[in-house]
Structure 1
């Protein structure tokens, strides 16, 4: 026992730290799942089911859900049900415009800081993406997220990174409905990003990232339109 430290108070503090760590872990896991299309737009976030799948109690899940509602990643309805918000095409286009500005800037900044280890990581993720089969939609989007955020973290701009994360939280659920065969060009776009970063060419990195978001966005919009077509 440390002299001058109350045992009950110390144990209480330790439990508080453990709870905070668990809350943060659950929050990060749910956040990552949302950003990579782990939940379909319009689906309800059921606390008990989430707690069971994450092997935790209801409390950290409830805390994480509340944080994600504040971040606009989730939406609380008047009856207190929490759902994954759906996006219209106009909302998607607005988010894409802002993403191009922020993520293009992050790619350009990354050219100043990118290391051989980062390039190696991007190439490794790129190879994993190319090896995926057509029924690996969830894996594609998870790897796509990992690829992009490896670039953005290399920009060494915490504020810019947090803004990009906020946009991905809003757009991530859209990925849930996009078939993998609509994303085959994504690997080629990633190759151009890697090449620009390897050359330290900020202008080319911005252009490659912009092209990747534009082409990917066009495929998502096409899927949106197809999904809204009346069944015959």
Structure 2
């Protein structure tokens, strides 16, 4: 006979995952704005679930940096100052550059897999629901940076990307920017296939500098 407590835990776990996806999408698409409070009872009512999986989902999103928890007040969509974004962008620029310098060249099979990821992104360029591009973009870049042996540096890049996710997503708000991202990825792929370190570094720099976070890092760098 099935354990009813286990069934409840499985159901709540699935509800928490669905809540994480829904809130993340709303944040990345700008439907929940920086500084806006997330009220547990409203989310539970909207998704027709109990507050238990909502609390779990809010904790997950806070660990990713998309939400900020204030004791005795609740959860709020993380709001970052231009200076903070510039610092995040600057750290990403420095660490990603080092990862790109130290990758081992991928096999032809890996290049094919990376091209498939970019093709998945291309299929979302004209879509109204494009938010999956954010996760695909993560996978594309982290697969490349994962070719480096600098695993601690890679872990830090992952952390910084989570902090910047809502702001990186700004670059997908228009069809033109989504198309530009796919084209820039294609240039990165060509550099990888040609095994040209110079072309790879340039294509990654150009791609990063064209993003909102990258632009802030560039401005911060040139102002010092």
Match of 1:208 among 203, 216, 222: 203
Q: What is the Cα deviation at residue 20 of structure 1?
A: 7.7
Cα offsets for 1:186-210 (capped at 9, x unmatched): 3332221221233344553343222
Given that 1:182 and 1:219 are in contact with CA atoms closer than 8 Å, whether structure 2 keeps it comes out as no
Ranges in structure 2 where 5+ consecutive residues have no aligned partner: 217-224
2:38 match: secondary structure:
coil
Q: Which residue of 1 aligns with 2:186?
A: 191
TM-score by length of 2: 0.68
Q: Which residue of 1 aligns with 2:75?
A: 82
Q: What is the Cα deviation at residue 77 of structure 1?
A: 2.9
TM-score by length of 1: 0.66
Q: Aligned partners of 1:28, 1:160: CA distance in 2, in Å? A: 27
Q: What is the Cα deviation at residue 61 of structure 1?
A: 1.8
Given that 1:36 and 1:145 are in contact with CA atoms closer than 8 Å, whether structure 2 keeps it comes out as no
Match of 1:121 among 103, 108, 116: 116
- Farther off after superposition, 116-125 or 33-42: 33-42
Number of residue equivalences: 208
Cα offsets for 1:112-138 (capped at 9, x unmatched): 366144133134135325x427xx4x6
Distance 1:96 1:66, change over 3 A: same
Q: Which residue of 2 aligns with 1:174?
A: 167
Pick the structure with greater CA Rg: 1
Q: What is the Cα deviation at residue 83 of structure 1?
A: 0.7
Q: Aligned partners of 2:8, 2:104: CA distance in 1, in Å? A: 37
Ranges in structure 1 where 5+ consecutive residues have no aligned partner: 1-6, 222-232
**Over aligned residue pairs, what C-alpha RMSD do you find?**
3.9
1:1-232 matches, cutoff 5 A: 11=3, 14-15=6-7, 18=10, 21-22=13-14, 25-26=17-18, 29=21, 33=25, 36-37=28-29, 39-52=32-45, 54=47, 56-105=49-98, 109=103, 111-112=105-106, 115-128=110-123, 131-132=125-126, 136=128, 139=130, 142-154=132-144, 155=146, 162-175=155-168, 179-180=173-174, 183=177, 185-217=180-212
Q: What is the Cα deviation at residue 143 of structure 1?
A: 1.5
